[in-house]
Structure 1
Amino acid sequence: MFKSKKLFTFMFLLILSVFALAACGGSDEDSGDDASSSEGKSTLETLKANDKIVWGVKNDTKLFGLKNPSNGEIEGFDVDMAKAITEIILGDASKVEFKEVTSKTRIPMLNNGEIDAIIATMTITEERKQEVDFSDVYFEAGQSLLVEKGSDIQSIDDITADTKVIAVKGSTSAINIREKAPDAQVLEFENYAEAFTALKAGQGDTLTTDNAILYGMASEDSNFELVGDIFTDEPYGIAMKKGSDDFVQAVNDALAELKENGKYDEIYSKWLNF
């Protein structure tokens, strides 16, 4: 009787061990398959599988990316370019999602996976190339100055140590103005809406950023105007995560197609024909 109990216990434990090993083996195999299927996909393959591209755009930059208060939609040159590129890559312009970015937040949001690409008046620089991959240039801008009409400031040469220059945090404009006018007092704001509001409130003497953005501000308020020549080159690019070679190539191919078929000129004329 004792031997029978021992034999039964042994057989029971043996069966449990077999089931446990089988379960572990199946779990490892399944997780391995999932990992390989996820890690094996390129950026472009992942986007096509998701059937959507999430774009980081400005919400406060007239002509490029501005939220329309009447319908809540983001509108502008960058927005229409994102839709056109998405249509070429995914076959449908509606397969887009837009998330608001600022000059300060856009790269962190890209690198933490909140967005797939940035199209937000972003200048291509060597420093930024260390953090992201850029497309070909899709818009050529240049930094300028916005002042109230009648201002003594008519060019970069008129900026002195007494001049308060308004800029946006995280922008190349804030860096450039310190190089071009090192004695100036630079006041940085979170976004372009806050910066323009500060200029209109008299908190600064001039606002500096890319001329295309300043034209949008001037069109909102006829009391302000652009002065002087541009004093930098600001080539805009679309930013993607480092290593997204296939996605970068797809975007560059789309840009080339849009310029060849006339769609680029159509979008440009719609927003930037000033």
Structure 2
Amino acid sequence: MKSTRFGLVAAAAVLALTASACGSDDGGSGGSGGSGDSGGGDGIKIGIKFDQPGLGLKKGNEYTGMDVDVATYVAQQLGYDADKIEWVQAPSAQRETLISTGQVDMVVATYSITDERKQKVSFAGPYFIAGQDLLVRSDDSSITGPDTLDGKKLCSVTGSTSAQKVKDKVPGVNLQEFATYSECVAGLVSGAVDALTTDDTILAGYASQDQYKGKLKVVGAPFSEERYGIGLKKGDTEMCTKVTDAIKKMINDGDWQTAVDDNLGAAGYKPPAGNPPTPDACS
């Protein structure tokens, strides 16, 4: 997608950085050079999910979702127009590696801030507080939270910690494990299962899809807290401060609410308590 001229400029920049050897951990990171500056580079690489409706979804050459909107806003505050963003797929298991090796400048991908992850990367934010919840059919009033799942068929993906949390709390639940959340949603619509559990943002994203509008709803009784942050290279305090300031501005000027409404509002989703969040000092 980049022009030949851009490729030559980027190559020259990489050679210059290599020659300076300013504390780089490796010589082939593949990063854009955007980390730590406020728009002086030619572009910025941002890791997102490619398969989460309402959050980070790739369809052809189009990228949509709340995480995409947040990332685009932050990039613009750093001096990068939307056409200077290179989107990189960031599966959950690869996020730390993508950051530490310089393959991306930041990750905005339902990336919960945890003490374990903070040992490997720095976080700006949070920009959203999510919670584990339940997705049910719109006409089902019998399920109002985990304590009403006894004897019900609950779906989540194979190996999901979300489903296991519910099973531990409600031993009588009938856990059904599918390979993907999309399969769970299809099973919910057909009546094969009674509920689906994972982060409420992910649930709202599926419920907001055109084919499911009016058919599904998020229960709205979250029973965990997930603080979504923007992952950055460990110890890059300057960049982290700039990104946190950008998140604060997005919240204050109303664009944060617009992003939530545009991407998740169709499901009747209401962000849980604590939103909009107050971004902490960089961690």
| TM-score, normalised by the number of residues in structure 1 | 0.71
Describe the shift of the 1:266–1:223 C-alpha distance in structure 2 as closer, same or farther (beyond 3 A).
closer
Q: Which residue of 1 aligns with 2:145?
A: 155
Question: Shift of the alpha carbon at 1:34?
Answer: 1.6
- Measured against aligned partners, the alpha-carbon deviations of 1:15-35 in whole angstroms (never above 9, x if no partner) come to xxxxxxxxxxxxxxx99x825
Question: Shift of the alpha carbon at 1:251?
Answer: 0.5
What percentage of residue pairs aligned between the two structures are identical?
Answer: 35
Are positions 1:83 and 2:72 aligned together?
yes
Describe the shift of the 1:39–1:100 C-alpha distance in structure 2 as closer, same or farther (beyond 3 A).
closer
Q: Which residue of 2 aligns with 1:61?
A: 52
Question: Shift of the alpha carbon at 1:107?
Answer: 3.0
CA distance in 2, matches of 1:60, 1:223: 21
CA distance in 1, matches of 2:117, 2:171: 23
Spell out the pairing of 1:109-148 with structure 2 (5 A cutoff). 109-148=98-137
Question: Shift of the alpha carbon at 1:134?
Answer: 1.2
CA distance in 1, matches of 2:81, 2:193: 45
Q: Which residue of 1 aligns with 2:208?
A: 219
Are positions 1:102 and 2:83 aligned together?
no
Q: Which runs of 5+ in 1 are unaligned?
A: 1-29
Are positions 1:270 and 2:262 aligned together?
yes
Spell out the pairing of 1:14-93 with structure 2 (5 A cutoff). 34=19, 36-37=21-22, 39=24, 43-45=35-37, 50-68=41-59, 71-93=60-82
Question: Shift of the alpha carbon at 1:98?
Answer: 0.9
Are positions 1:208 and 2:197 aligned together?
yes
Are positions 1:167 and 2:169 aligned together?
no
8 Å CA contact 1:55, 1:119 repeated in 2: yes
Q: Which runs of 5+ in 2 are unaligned?
A: 1-14, 26-32, 269-283
8 Å CA contact 1:103, 1:169 repeated in 2: no
CA distance in 2, matches of 1:175, 1:110: 29
Q: The residue matched to 2:92 in structure 1 has which SS?
A: coil
Bigger Cα displacement from structure 2, 135-144 vs 202-211: 202-211
Q: Which residue of 2 aligns with 1:235?
A: 227
Question: Shift of the alpha carbon at 1:209?
Answer: 1.6
Q: The residue matched to 2:116 in structure 1 has which SS?
A: helix
| TM-score, normalised by the number of residues in structure 2 | 0.69
Larger Rg: 1
CA distance in 2, matches of 1:167, 1:212: 15
Question: Shift of the alpha carbon at 1:230?
Answer: 1.5
* Equivalent residue letter for 2:221: D
8 Å CA contact 1:144, 1:230 repeated in 2: yes
Count of equivalent residues: 241
CA distance in 1, matches of 2:34, 2:68: 25
- Measured against aligned partners, the alpha-carbon deviations of 1:174-203 in whole angstroms (never above 9, x if no partner) come to 564455446656555665434434544666
Q: The residue matched to 1:63 in structure 2 has which SS?
A: coil
Question: Shift of the alpha carbon at 1:38?
Answer: 6.5
Q: CA RMSD in A?
A: 3.5
8 Å CA contact 2:123, 2:232 repeated in 1: yes
Q: The residue matched to 1:240 in structure 2 has which SS?
A: strand
Larger helix proportion, structure 1 or 2? 1
Bigger Cα displacement from structure 2, 108-117 vs 190-199: 190-199
Q: Which residue of 1 aligns with 2:271?
A: none
Q: Which residue of 2 aligns with 1:257?
A: 249
